[in-house]
Amino acid sequence: MKITVAELRERAGRILAGADLLDVRLSSAMAQSANPLLEGPFQVDSQVQTRSEVPDDEGLIYTFLRYNVRAVTESNEDAEAWQVDARFVATYKRTTTEDLDPDDLTCFALAIGLMTVHPYAREAIQSLVSRMGYPPFTLGMMAPLTGGADSDLVELNED
């Protein structure tokens, strides 16, 4: 489903108006390194998945994010130097009791949850990579999806 940036902002804002951030935490991490260490330079690919859900009768909203970051040598894409698969959860306290629309929750995950968790993910991934013996890798900044023109389209993946 595609929506405009203006609609994304509005839908995410409906959830944010009734939610306060309680906690951001790393829920699991897997890090793998080649042995012996490979020489760079490296090409790094990263993917992020996010979703929000509201458990019954807890008064909470959870936003789950999964970061999968993989480095291969520039000279040989089959030579994986390292990989990090890290999962985070942001917990928000609901300040209202109204029913939440599933599409609004998807927009909240993309517009608010992602921007909330990304700095924590950057630090955790940098630390894991350096602990594997490689130069610290700094995951790039995330441009907010709500920063585009109101009429720009955003794809909502619901898988």
Q: Which domains does the chain carry?
A: 2-141 (3.10.420.10)
46 bridge partner residues? 69
Specify the pLDDT at position 43: 94
Residue 159 pLDDT exceeds 60: no
Q: Is 147 helix (H, G, I), strand (E, B) or coil?
A: helix
Identity of the highest mean pLDDT range in 43-47, 138-142, 155-159: 43-47
Average pLDDT of the residues in 79-92: 96
Q: What proportion of the chain, given as a percentage, has pLDDT over 90? A: 74
Cα dihedral value 76, 78, 82, 87, nearest 10: 130
Specify the pLDDT at position 77: 78
The reply to whether the predicted model has a pTM over 0.85 is yes
Among 8-12, 27-31, 142-146, the minimum mean pLDDT is found in: 142-146
| Phi/psi-derived region of residue 57, left when phi > 0, alpha when psi is between -120 and 50, beta in every other case | left
Backbone angles phi, psi at 112, to 5 degrees: -110, -55
Residue 157 pLDDT exceeds 80: no
